[in-house]
Each structure stands twice: as C-alpha cells, then as structure tokens.
C-alpha cells in the first residue's frame, strides 16, 4: 500500500514562490544557457552515481527555476535514498531543505496566502520523506466521545512506516518549524570564523562527531535545543566509553572544543547558556614516576651516538640545543637563521615569533643546511608538508614517527602500565634543555623567553643585541652536550667561528 502525497490528495497545486535573495541559487547551476538542479551524492554511492545528480529545468529564468526546483530536489533525494536503502545504508537527512522552508515560513509571516502555500509544501515534502507505508496494522478505535452511552468501538487500518524514514520526516518537521536547529547550521560558520590552527579545527570536528554519535546512540535529536546541562553531563559521564577510553586530558580537549563552540553561540544569543562550562573528566593524579620527563644524560648519549641518519641527528641536535618544539624546528626557513639567531614561529599561546641565539655547536649544521639556498627555502626539506589536500597534520608528523622508531631502537623508552605514551619523547629534549639552563643558574624569566613559555614581558631583540640577548646567548651556550670518555658528543662535529648571514 502506498500513501498518496498530500499534493495528489488536494489535486493540482497552484504555483507559488516566496522570494528570497539569499537562497536564489541554492541547488541550481547554469549549463548551456539553461538552469539545472544539482545535488551532492554521498561518498558511498559515488562509484555508482557519480559525485552529483543533475537535472535540467529547461529555463533560462532564475525566477522560474526557483519555482520549479524544489520538486526536482525532492525527487533526486528520493533516488539517492532508494539507492542507500538498497545498499543497507541510512537515508540522508533533509536538513538544508528544512532550513529552506524555515526561512520561507519566516518571510511569509503576516501573509495568509503565502503561509498556506508554505504549509502545503512542507506537508508535501514531509510526506515524500516519509515514503510509502511498509505495512498496515489493524487496531480497535474507541468512539469519538468519552460518554459511555455514545462510545462505540470499531476497527481501522493504520499505516506503519519505515522507522528510519519516519525519524527523518519527524526531524524535517521540527527543523522547519524552528523547534530543532542542527549543530551544523552554526558549526560551519564557527569554524570559518575561527582563527585557530587547522589541527585544532580538526579537534572541533571530531568533538562534534563524538556528540553526534552519542545523540544517535541515546535517541537524542541532533540539535542545539536538545543539549541541556543535564544532557551535557550525561555525555561527559559516557565520554570515556564512547571515545574508546581516551586519556582524560584528550577527552577534556574535546569537551573544551564543545565549550568554545557554545561560547560562540551564547555571544550570538543562539543559546541561553554554555551547558559545557566547567565540565571536565576527572583524571587520577599522576604519581611522580608517571609524568613525562626530560631525557637523562645517558639517554641523550645513546640517541646521539646511535646510527641515526643525518637528517634525524641534525633534528636531535636542534632539539637539545634550542629547547624548541619539534614542529617549530622543522618549519624553519633559511631566512630564520640570519644574524646568529633563530626565528621560531609562534607556538601554543605565543603572541609572535621568537628569536633565540644559535648555539655554537649548531653552526656547522646551519652552514651546511643553508649553503646555496634561497631565503625562503626550507632548512629541513627532509620533512615536507603533507601532500594530501586538506590535511590537518602538522609538518612534523612524520619526523615525530621516525624519531619514535629510532628512540625505541636505541632502547630509550619509559613505559608505565595504563599510559598510552612513553614518558620520554622528542619533547624530552626541550625538558632536558630547560633543566640544564636552570642548573646553570639562569633566571626563570630568561629561560621562559628562550623556550617560549609564558613570561613576564622579557623579549629578545634580534637586531638590538641588547643585554637580554647577550644574556640569552650566554645561557644557550652554557648548555653542553653530555660527554662520554672525555670526548664531546657527537665526536665528529668541530666548532666553527660565529657566522653572519646576509641576504
């Protein structure tokens, strides 16, 4: 049994269009002088249907195309959903279609004819989304009144619909009525306006995927109106299991991204409160022997005296004698080594690039890596940026993996049961540098200025070579690589005079 659409029940419908400039071109493109409808095909169906479905409207008028497009959009979506169901996949949501009708409903307010037109089209679209009944259920219906004398029972057939399609139809009705606002309506705008790194935007997207998955699992509608404080607390309590028991710090990172998104919505008065505020996953206090640490001198010797390839040995030397983060090192350009100082890009919460003196033991490496290169050439071309378009991985990703493999080969490992990461990693060079500088008696503010930690305002001017930079040069060159058998490590590196590079 197939349920007739509302349009069929009412006969031929009159043509209507509530004008909107914002969405005039939605689902439309010009081809061969005529407008046609175009909609995206889900990735899972692209091998069979191509990337987009298209159908000509045979008109060069944008106004006419807008009057004709919606039934065609619905038909093409129905074709896609039919293919998805044949493949055993869930039908696609009609979020953008629902938002279109929400806007039409808003613009039609006060015009009874336009309101009727919108209501009629919404009902027709919802019926199309619902699809045909999959069965009929014979039920006993009580009479029309509560008065026992008038009450009469009779049997009637009621249609039963596919649960997935019914859920989509219900969602469509809620969205177009303004009772449900999908996360994506504002999340895409939030990401577009966000000034964070691509990697952090990736965290934002993963946080939303976790939230969507939890909503589906717990039958909570995917909409802003559904996420109350109580729901947010339930999500937080379930997050460990949902995320595959990620480390509490990582779980809190994703909770923080959700909180930042809700702050954005709160400022725009889309929501009434930030339901994620101060929600955190409690972590067990780490014992002294469970915290990530600096390398010991013996571990530094083992790493520098191993059979590392030249590119990795250079990288380790930079890590040990600059205290810089790995990503800042591999991103250095030739021009960032001039006048006896490195210029490291800002990392974490650093407001600007950071200059630090070049350690004398790095002079020969810098000279070799800058020889016959242009100012904008990479100092470490050995680790290029990811080639995959849209990748959010930092350039240091492969360098980190290669170092980890080499470190384990050298037997430099410190694992604690229940911890995913070793307590030593490339960042341990940074901790080793800071430890050595502290033991050499230099002030915390000076060390913070060198390594890029939050500091009290001390800056190191590259060109002024003022007292702060002179003191920083003393501090950096006070860091000495550990010796073995009375010889410097590595043994094959000779010190060279200070160099000045001009471009």
pLDDT greater than 80 at residue 142: no
Q: What secondary structure letter does DSSP report for 487?
A: B
pTM more than 0.85 = no
The residue among 284 and 447 whose pLDDT is bigger is 447
Q: What pLDDT score does 128 carry?
A: 81
pLDDT greater than 70 at residue 18: no
Q: What pLDDT score does 493 carry?
A: 40
Spatial separation of the C-alpha atoms in residues 66 and 28, rounded to whole Å: 8
Per residue in 320-379, pLDDT tens? 999 999 999 999 999 999 888 999 888 766 667 788 899 999 999 999 999 999 999 999
Spatial separation of the C-alpha atoms in residues 100 and 25, rounded to whole Å: 12
- Per the listing, tokens 């000034």 go with 195
Res. 2 pLDDT band, cuts 50 70 90: very low
Residue 441 in tokens: 């008696």
Residue 488 in tokens: 């410097």
Q: Give the DSSP letter string of 310-377.
A: HHHHHHHHHHHHH---HHHHHT-BGGGGGGGEEEEPP-TT-SS-EEEEPPGGGHHHHHHHHTT--TTS
Domain boundaries of the chain, sorted by first residue? 6-137+154-177, 183-267, 293-478
Which of 261, 91, 255 is closest to 188 using CA atoms? 261
* Residue 426, preceding peptide bond in cis (omega within 30° of 0): no
Q: How does the average pLDDT of the chain come out, rounded?
A: 82
Per residue in 48-81, pLDDT tens? 889 999 999 999 999 899 888 888 887 888 888 8
DSSP H or E stretch at residue 460: none
Q: What percent of the chain has pLDDT over 90?
A: 41
Spatial separation of the C-alpha atoms in residues 387 and 377, rounded to whole Å: 17
Q: For domain 183-267, give the CATH number.
A: 1.10.150
The residue among 292 and 321 whose pLDDT is bigger is 321
Res. 285 pLDDT band, cuts 50 70 90: low
Describe the crossing of helices 248-267 and 198-217 by its angle, rounded to 10 degrees.
90
* Architecture (CATH level 2) of domain 293-478: Orthogonal Bundle (1.10)
Handedness of CA 271, 273, 276, 277 (dihedral sign): positive
Which of 94, 101, 96, 184 is closest to 131 using CA atoms? 94
DSSP H or E stretch at residue 266: helix 248-267
39 three-class SS: strand
β-partners of residue 357 are: 341
Per residue in 150-187, pLDDT tens? 556 777 888 888 888 888 888 889 988 888 998 988 99
**Taking a C-beta distance cutoff of 8 angstroms, is the pair 136, 1 a contact?**
yes
The residue among 408 and 458 whose pLDDT is bigger is 408
Instruction: Tell me the average pLDDT across 424-442.
Output: 93
212, burial (CB in 10 Å: exposed 0-12, middle 13-18, buried 19+)? middle
Q: Give the DSSP letter string of 471-486.
A: HHHHHHHH--PPPBTT
Spatial separation of the C-alpha atoms in residues 57 and 444, rounded to whole Å: 71
Q: What pLDDT score does 187 carry?
A: 92
Q: How many CB atoms neighbour CB 314 within 10 A?
A: 20
In order of 79, 143, 494, the CA distances from 58 in angstroms are 21, 53, 77
Residue 443 in tokens: 């002030």
Q: What percent of the chain has pLDDT over 70?
A: 83
Q: What secondary structure letter does DSSP report for 136?
A: E
Spatial separation of the C-alpha atoms in residues 392 and 197, rounded to whole Å: 8
Q: How many CB atoms neighbour CB 415 within 10 A?
A: 11
**Taking a C-beta distance cutoff of 8 angstroms, is the pair 186, 270 a contact?**
yes
Phi/psi at 454 (5° precision): -60, 130
* Residue 490, preceding peptide bond in cis (omega within 30° of 0): yes
Q: How many CB atoms neighbour CB 326 within 10 A?
A: 23
């Amino acid at each position: 049994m197939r349920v007739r659409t509302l349009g069929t029940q009412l006969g031929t419908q009159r043509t209507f269009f509530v004008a909107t400039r914002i969405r005039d071109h939605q689902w439309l493109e010009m081809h061969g002088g005529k407008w046609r409808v175009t909609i995206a095909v889900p990735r899972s169906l692209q091998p069979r249907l191509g990337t987009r479905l298209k159908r000509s409207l045979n008109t060069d008028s944008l106004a006419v195309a807008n009057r004709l497009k919606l039934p065609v959009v619905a038909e093409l979506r129905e074709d896609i959903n039919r293919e998805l169901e044949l493949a055993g996949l869930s039908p696609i949501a009609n979020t953008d279609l629902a938002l279109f009708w929400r806007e039409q409903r808003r613009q039609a307010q006060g015009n009874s004819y336009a309101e009727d037109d919108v209501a009629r089209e919404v009902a027709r679209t919802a019926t199309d989304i619902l699809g045909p009944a999959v069965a009929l259920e014979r039920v006993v219906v009580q009479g029309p009144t509560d008065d026992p004398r008038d009450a009469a029972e009779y049997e009637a057939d009621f249609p039963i619909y596919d649960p997935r399609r019914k859920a989509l139809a219900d969602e469509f009705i809620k969205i177009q009525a303004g009772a449900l606002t999908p996360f994506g309506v504002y999340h895409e705008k939030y990401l577009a306006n966000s000034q964070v790194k691509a990697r952090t935007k990736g965290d934002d997207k993963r946080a939303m995927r976790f939230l969507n998955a939890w909503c589906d699992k717990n039958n909570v509608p995917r909409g802003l109106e559904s996420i109350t404080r109580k729901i947010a607390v339930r999500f937080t309590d379930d997050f460990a299991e949902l995320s595959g028991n990620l480390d509490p710090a990582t779980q809190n990172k994703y909770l923080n991204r959700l909180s930042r998104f809700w702050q954005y919505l709160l400022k725009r008065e889309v929501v009434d409160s930030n339901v994620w505020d101060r929600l955190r996953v409690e972590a067990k206090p780490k014992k002294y022997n469970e915290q990530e640490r600096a390398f010991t001198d013996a571990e530094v010797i083992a790493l520098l005296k191993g059979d590392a390839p030249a590119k990795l040995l250079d990288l380790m030397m930079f890590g040990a004698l600059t205290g810089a983060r790995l990503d800042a090192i591999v991103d250095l350009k030739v021009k960032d080594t001039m006048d006896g100082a490195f210029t490291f890009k800002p990392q974490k919460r650093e407001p600007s690039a950071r200059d630090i003196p070049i350690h004398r033991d790095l002079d020969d490496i810098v000279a070799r890596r800058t020889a016959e290169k242009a100012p904008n050439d990479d100092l470490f071309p050995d680790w290029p940026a990811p080639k995959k378009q849209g990748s959010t991985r930092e350039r240091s990703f492969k360098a980190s993996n290669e170092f980890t493999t080499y470190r384990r080969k050298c037997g430099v490992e410190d694992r604690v049961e229940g911890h995913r990461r070793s307590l030593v990693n490339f960042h341990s060079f940074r901790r080793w540098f800071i430890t050595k500088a502290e033991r050499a008696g230099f002030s915390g503010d000076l060390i913070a200025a060198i390594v890029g930690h939050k500091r009290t305002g001390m800056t190191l001017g590259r060109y002024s070579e003022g007292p702060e930079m002179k003191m920083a040069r003393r501090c950096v060159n006070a860091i000495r690589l550990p010796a073995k058998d009375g010889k410097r490590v590595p043994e094959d590196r000779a010190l060279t005079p200070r160099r000045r590079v001009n471009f």
